[in-house]
A and B are shown apart, each in its own frame.
Chain A
Amino acid sequence: MQDTSVLEKTEQREIVSFRVADQDFCIDIGHVREIRGWSETTPLPHTPEYVKGLVNLRGNVIPVIDLAHRLGLGHTDPGERHVIVITVCEERTAGLLVEAVSDIVTVDCAEMKPPPSLTSSAAREVVEGVFVIRESLVRMIDLARVLPSEAEVAE
Chain B
Amino acid sequence: MTNRESLRAGFFQECEDLLETMSDSLARVERDATDHDAVNALFRAVHSIKGGAGAFGLDALVTFSHAFENLLDDIRETRVTPRGDIMALLYRAGDRMYDLVESEQNEEDPARWQQDDDEHAALLAAIAAACANSDGGDTGPEEDFVPTPLAIEMPGLPALDVPADGGSADDRAGDDRWRITFRPLKALYALGNDPLPLFRALSEIGPLEVKPDLSALPPLGEMTWDESYLCWEVDLRADCAAEEIREVFEFVADDCVLQIDRGETQSTHSAQENAGPSERAQPATLPEPLLAETSGDAETPAAGRGATGQPAPRQSIRVDLDRVDRLINLVGELVISEAMLSQSLSEGGKFRDPAVEGALGQLKQLASELQERIMAIRAQSVKSLFQRMSRIVREAGHATGKEVRLVTEGEATEVDKTVIERLADPLTHMLRNAIDHGIETPETREAAGKSPQGTVRMTAGHRSGQVIMEITDDGGGIDCDAVLSRAIERGLVPPDANLKTQEIYNLLFEPGFSTAQNVSNLSGRGVGMDVVRSEIQSLGGRVNIDSTLGQGTTVTISLPLTLAVVEGMLVDVAGETLVVPSSALRETMRAEAGMIHRLGPRDLVLSMRGTLIPVFDLGASIGEREMSRDIHGMPVLMVETAAGMMIALTVDRILGQREVVIKGLSENYGLVRGIAAATVLGDGRIALIVDVDQLAQNAGIALEDSNARLTA
Residues of A within 8 A of B674 (CB): 45-46
| Cβ proximity bits B677-712 to A, threshold 8 Å, 1 near / 0 not | 010100011111000000000000000000000000
Which single residue of chain B is at the shortest CB-CB distance from A44? B672
A61 at the interface (CB under 8 A from B): yes
Which single residue of chain A is at the shortest CB-CB distance from B330? A59
Which single residue of chain A is at the shortest CB-CB distance from B663? A61
Q: How far is the CA of A62 from the CA of B336 in the complex (A)?
A: 16
Q: Is the CB of B667 within 8 A of A92?
A: yes
Set B332, B333, B664, B675: member contacting A44, Cβ < 8 A: B675
Set A43, A45, A56, A61: member contacting B673, Cβ < 8 A: A45
B162 at the interface (CB under 8 A from A): no
Set B329, B332, B337, B668: member contacting A92, Cβ < 8 A: B668
Q: Is the CB of A59 within 8 A of B680?
A: yes
Beyond A44-B675, A45-B623, A45-B672, whether A59 also contacts B336 by CB under 8 A is: yes
B465 at the interface (CB under 8 A from A): no
Q: How far is the CA of A93 from the CA of B684 in the complex (A)?
A: 18
Contact-residue bracket for chain B: 20 to 34
Q: How far is the CA of A56 from the CA of B333 in the complex (A)?
A: 11
Minimal beta-carbon separation of A98 from chain B (angstroms): 18
Q: Is the CB of A42 within 8 A of B687?
A: yes
Residues of B within 8 A of A58 (CB): 333
Question: Which of A22-30, A100-108, A121-129, A147-155 is the contact stretch?
Answer: A147-155
Q: Is the CB of B668 within 8 A of A56?
A: no
Minimal beta-carbon separation of A60 from chain B (angstroms): 7
Set B333, B336, B623, B686: member contacting A54, Cβ < 8 A: B686
Beyond A45-B674, A61-B678, A63-B669, whether A56 also contacts B686 by CB under 8 A is: yes
Minimal beta-carbon separation of A51 from chain B (angstroms): 8
| Cβ proximity bits A35-46 to B, threshold 8 Å, 1 near / 0 not | 000001111111
Q: Is the CB of A42 within 8 A of B688?
A: yes
Residues of B within 8 A of A10 (CB): none
B155 at the interface (CB under 8 A from A): no
Residues of A within 8 A of B678 (CB): 42, 54, 61
Minimal beta-carbon separation of B332 from chain A (angstroms): 7
Q: Is the CB of A59 within 8 A of B333?
A: yes
A96 at the interface (CB under 8 A from B): no
Set B576, B622, B670, B686: member contacting A61, Cβ < 8 A: B686
Residues of B within 8 A of A91 (CB): 667
Q: How far is the CA of A147 from the CA of B672 in the complex (A)?
A: 14
Which single residue of chain A is at the shortest CB-CB distance from B680? A56
Minimal beta-carbon separation of B109 from chain A (angstroms): 36
Q: How far is the CA of A46 from the CA of B691 in the complex (A)?
A: 13
List 9 interface pairs A-B (beta carbons < 8 Å), by A numbering. A42-B678, A42-B686, A51-B669, A54-B678, A59-B663, A63-B669, A93-B667, A153-B669, A153-B672
Which residues of B are at the interface with A, using a C-beta cutoff of 8 A? 329, 332-333, 336-337, 576, 622-624, 663-665, 667-675, 678, 680, 684-688
